[in-house]
Amino acid sequence: MKVIIVMIMLLCSNYTMASERVSLVDKRLSQGYVAPVLTENSVILTDKHGTLYSFDMDNSRIINWKLHLPHKNKIGNMSLSCHSGNVFFIVDNILHVIDAKTGEIQWEKELRAPARGRAVVINNKLVVLTIDNYLHMFDIKDGSLIWTYQNGINEVRGLYSISPVISNDKIIAPFSNGELIAFSEDGKKLWDQKLSTNLLDTQLTDVTTTPRVLGDILIATNNSYIYGIDVKSGNVLWSKPLQVKSVSDIESYYSPLIPAERQRKGGRIFIVTKDNKIIGIDILSGETVWTSDLIENTQLFAPIMYAHTLWVTSDKGLIFAFPGSENKGKAIKIPGNVFHTPVFTHDKIYITTEGNGVYSLENRFVFYD
């Protein structure tokens, strides 16, 4: 196994970080777009041909299983998620449910159209949204269809990977006609909200990112605005004109990593705009509470909060890290381009690059002069 030392350049300081390539995946087969998932003590990931690998979280040389799934056509889209010992792997319109420990296929289902994003779970039921605006609910045990809902077809849509979101006992689905619809577990429509767009910005009406929820606040985006929405009623609380490319999860202001004097109700979400600016927004007011526009000539992707640090991937073989509330970050050199969110364990960061291998980075900084 090859060990590489990579450089971290702070805007005013330098660092080193060790990186180790996961050798069980051929470098040329690494895909860079679908993030690995963690299950108990294992990391599970896919290569660009749809082969799944499971290996030990602490020692990537220990392989648990490998599963090659034959596909008739060239793969257009993949998604990977997990819940309670099951892995949900969707390749175009084929849904595979796999035992996370053994790699055995539990059941498979051919969907009527390719999935738009990842499968999500509510009370042992599996929810999948397809690109033709069908929302499906399956029994997680055997794949039997429980109910389905169709919301019309919008011919003008973007190529966004978005998924439904679960909030307590509600399923909230983002459809390509710009509608957000909340359902009960038994398929009853609870509320719907059509997100308006500015036709001067775009003809695309669809929701552009997977909604994020904290408490009673849901954050959604389209090609013109970012919205704060009340989860209980579906009413719009605020909107802000922004063309958003990707969003982080919401960081609660009650986080133990935030100083006690700054803890309060609500939270903040970080977004990457289409012109590659990074902005933090308060979810209760919609006000901008953090910005960083120091990164230039770089396409940015997939912001994620971990340990009170904002991490953002890019197309320049760099991951940017912004500790705490600082707007000056560390530029971490990695051996390739990454377009998905990094995956964190207690001491490692796992990434897949585009055509240059899978890596684990040491999740700590080592100073040097």
Range of the domain at 250: 1-28+242-369
Residues in the chain: 369
Tell me if 16 is assigned to some domain.
Answer: yes
Tell me if 237 is assigned to some domain.
Answer: no
Tell me if 166 is assigned to some domain.
Answer: no
Asked if residue 280 lies in contact with residue 267, where contact means CB atoms within 8 angstroms, the answer is no
Residue 205: Cβ within 10 Å count: 22
- Could you give the number of structural domains in the chain? 1
Q: Could you give the CA distance from residue 14 to residue 82 in angstroms, rounded to a whole number?
A: 37
The enclosing domain of 368 has a CATH number of 2.40.128.630
- Position 190 scores a pLDDT of 98
Asked if residue 162 lies in contact with residue 116, where contact means CB atoms within 8 angstroms, the answer is yes
Which residues, in sequence order, are CB contacts of 104 under 8 Å at separation 6+?
Answer: 98
Nearest to 361 by CA among 8, 12, 18: 18
Q: Could you give the CA distance from residue 36 to residue 46 in angstroms, rounded to a whole number?
A: 7
Tell me if 331 is assigned to some domain.
Answer: yes
Q: Is 314 exposed, middle or buried (0-12, 13-18, 19+ CB in 10 A)?
A: buried
Question: What is the spatial order of strands in the sheet that 236-241 belongs to?
Answer: 212-214, 217-221, 225-230, 236-241
- Position 246 scores a pLDDT of 95
Distances in whole angstroms, Cα of residue 283 to Cα of each of 223, 250, 251, 256 = 19, 8, 10, 19
Tell me if 90 is assigned to some domain.
Answer: no
| DSSP of 93-142 | TEEEEEETTT--EEEEEE-SS-BSS--EEETTEEEEEBTTSEEEEEETTT
Tell me if 218 is assigned to some domain.
Answer: no
Take residue 91 and report the two structure tokens written for it: 């390749």
Per-residue pLDDT of the chain (369 residues; tens, 9 = 90+): 444 434 334 443 445 466 889 999 999 999 999 999 999 899 999 999 999 999 999 889 999 999 998 877 788 899 999 999 999 999 999 999 999 999 999 999 999 999 999 999 999 999 999 999 999 999 999 999 999 999 976 544 555 689 999 998 999 999 988 899 999 999 999 999 999 877 665 566 788 999 999 999 999 999 889 999 999 999 999 999 999 999 999 999 887 766 777 778 899 999 999 999 999 999 999 999 999 877 888 999 999 999 889 999 999 888 999 987 688 888 888 888 999 999 999 889 999 999 999 999 987 643 333
Tell me if 102 is assigned to some domain.
Answer: no
Take residue 305 and report the two structure tokens written for it: 């909060």
Instruction: Give the gyration radius of the chain's Cα atoms.
Output: 20
For tokens 């710009």, name the residue.
Answer: 178
Tell me if 326 is assigned to some domain.
Answer: yes
